[in-house]
Chain A
């Protein structure tokens, strides 16, 4: 499994006429847990959306699971930022999880008994089986994040792209997400996650992309996640730096 799950070749993305991602060349090896790290406005979410084909590329190309995203959509799960949707929307946790099956079902087919059972399994996996019939606005932030994860698990994908899955979650949710990520990894899945908390990059991920519009560094965490690289990515906006010897990490980053 030395093939790359995700490859960026000279990828640039522009909003109106301003480049937000510039000439990124990077690859994520299969079966790895990869963090995308960088300051606010570094284009981390945009890079994920570019991989999913949700934003047009100004230049360059992306290879997903060895091919074009349009050919492998079913095998790619997406966990957007929790803040990106209206949680007052009238659906239950189970119904949100079921949405993960919509791609595989295609036009005009409805989720049936098999999909419902599978959706319950996915909720069970994230510890939300008891909340299946809850309206989503009645869930806590962490539970909402786990519903998103369950929806992605429904896809039984090979590659999971997550936008800040750990942002603002409680300890219980953090544990549940970590457990799921571990299980996915064991099945040979690749996970790429935008990550904000620099202090946990080393323990949770084995690969890292440091981004600040341009790619600053990419590679295995041990060799890549150094204080010099971080200093370059954050441009001196790091408030406290601990020397990046193995085990030590940056403790705080200014935004």
Chain B
């Protein structure tokens, strides 16, 4: 898979391609889960959870003393679910509105995480800066053996998480759709709305943590929101939106990485920047095309073909 690609683009090394593949996996995983956050108007909750998982990661470091992904994943997922729970409980009982409850919960957990991180940094080799910005460029140096192929550890983990995301999304597609559109009606059908919500939050937390180490929290936050929001501009159908978000996430990661390589700058930062450019450009294009169409004839949206 790598060699033919190298022939096509001889100026890239195998390491570049693995790094790019890792960035694509991270972007697609976050982008797909993020579509549901965008649809549920919870984009900021994704942002918040991705910061709030910090004490989970730090706690796992402090307890195990290693940088293994599995304890971090467990710690962060638990914290992710706990924070979703805590913010809705605060909203209900604390006599504040949802935004305020979210703001209080997540900033304080993030702060706690920073404190715990600096404590943990004395015990293990851990740089809080890495968590924020990620070290995409170092991805190829940490590899695992997967069926005889040396694969970057981050790519293996991200691939696994993406696979779990896709399986869960396929299995629970109608539950996700029904609870996102009309939670009260879904509940009246006997669908466990709360379980679906917490499950989604757990998925956000798990994706975030696994993507954190390689691509950093800035890219995670960008990729949770931007592909879904951009895809939503171009289509009025759910399934095309998910495909389009996948394509946008992949393209953004590839273009962002190549540009970063050319300019010799932070790859994660550049990918996040490109995703923003894509979104703003799409807004402009959709507004312009919409205005042109309205002045000509029907106001039908783009790509609104019926589902198969």
Interchain CB contact under 8 A, B188 and A99: no
- Among A229-252, those with CB < 8 Å from B are none
- B94 shortest CB reach to chain A, Å: 10
Interchain CB contact under 8 A, A105 and B301: no
Chain A residues, CB < 8 A from B293: none
- A97 shortest CB reach to chain B, Å: 12
- Among B186-210, those with CB < 8 Å from A are 186-191
Taken together as a complex, chains A and B put the C-alpha atoms of A16 and B94 apart, in Å, by 9
Interchain CB contact under 8 A, B185 and A78: yes
Q: Taking the complex as formed, is B129 at the interface, i.e. its CB lies under 8 A from any CB of chain A?
A: no
Given contacts A73-B189, A103-B189, A108-B171, contact A91 B177 (CB under 8 A): yes
Given contacts A84-B182, A90-B235, contact A111 B174 (CB under 8 A): yes
- Among B175-231, those with CB < 8 Å from A are 175, 177-178, 180-182, 184-191
Interchain CB contact under 8 A, B238 and A151: no
Chain B residues, CB < 8 A from A85: 181-182
Q: Which of A92, A96, A103 contacts B191 (CB 8 A)?
A: A103
- Residues of B in contact (CB 8 Å), total 34
Convert B159-185 into 0s and 1s, putting 1 for each residue whose CB lies closer than 8 angstroms to a CB of A: 000000000000111110110111011
Q: Identify the interface centre among A102, A108, A110, A155: most chain B CB within 10 Å of its CB.
A: A102
Convert B251-290 into 0s and 1s, putting 1 for each residue whose CB lies closer than 8 angstroms to a CB of A: 0000000000000000000000000000000000000000
Q: Which of B95, B178, B184 contacts A78 (CB 8 A)?
A: B184
Interchain CB contact under 8 A, B181 and A92: no
Taken together as a complex, chains A and B put the C-alpha atoms of A102 and B191 apart, in Å, by 8
Q: Identify the interface centre among B181, B189, B237, B307: most chain A CB within 10 Å of its CB.
A: B189
Q: Is the interface of B mostly helix, strand, loop or mixed?
A: helix
Chain A residues, CB < 8 A from B95: 16
Interface size class of A (residues with CB under 8 A): 35 or more
Q: Closest chain B residue to A76 by CB distance? A: B188
Q: Taking the complex as formed, is B150 at the interface, i.e. its CB lies under 8 A from any CB of chain A?
A: no
Q: Which of A96, A107, A133 contacts B181 (CB 8 A)?
A: A96
Q: Taking the complex as formed, is B304 at the interface, i.e. its CB lies under 8 A from any CB of chain A?
A: yes
Interchain CB contact under 8 A, B185 and A99: yes
Q: Taking the complex as formed, is A49 at the interface, i.e. its CB lies under 8 A from any CB of chain B?
A: yes
Taken together as a complex, chains A and B put the C-alpha atoms of A91 and B92 apart, in Å, by 30
Q: Which of B172, B177, B236 contacts A135 (CB 8 A)?
A: B236
Q: Closest chain B residue to A15 by CB distance? A: B92
- Among A170-201, those with CB < 8 Å from B are none
List 20 additional contacts besides A84-B184, A103-B191, A107-B175; criterion CB under 8 Å: A16-B93, A54-B188, A73-B188, A73-B190, A78-B184, A80-B184, A86-B41, A89-B39, A89-B180, A89-B181, A90-B236, A92-B237, A92-B307, A99-B177, A99-B178, A99-B181, A99-B186, A102-B186, A103-B189, A135-B237
22 CB contacts below 8 A, A to B, read A16-B93, A52-B188, A78-B188, A80-B185, A86-B181, A90-B39, A90-B237, A90-B238, A92-B237, A94-B306, A95-B238, A96-B181, A99-B177, A99-B178, A99-B182, A102-B174, A102-B175, A105-B174, A135-B236, A138-B299, A151-B185, A155-B189
- Sorted nearest first, the 5 A-B pairs with minimum C-beta distance are A103-B189, A78-B188, A135-B236, A73-B190, A133-B306
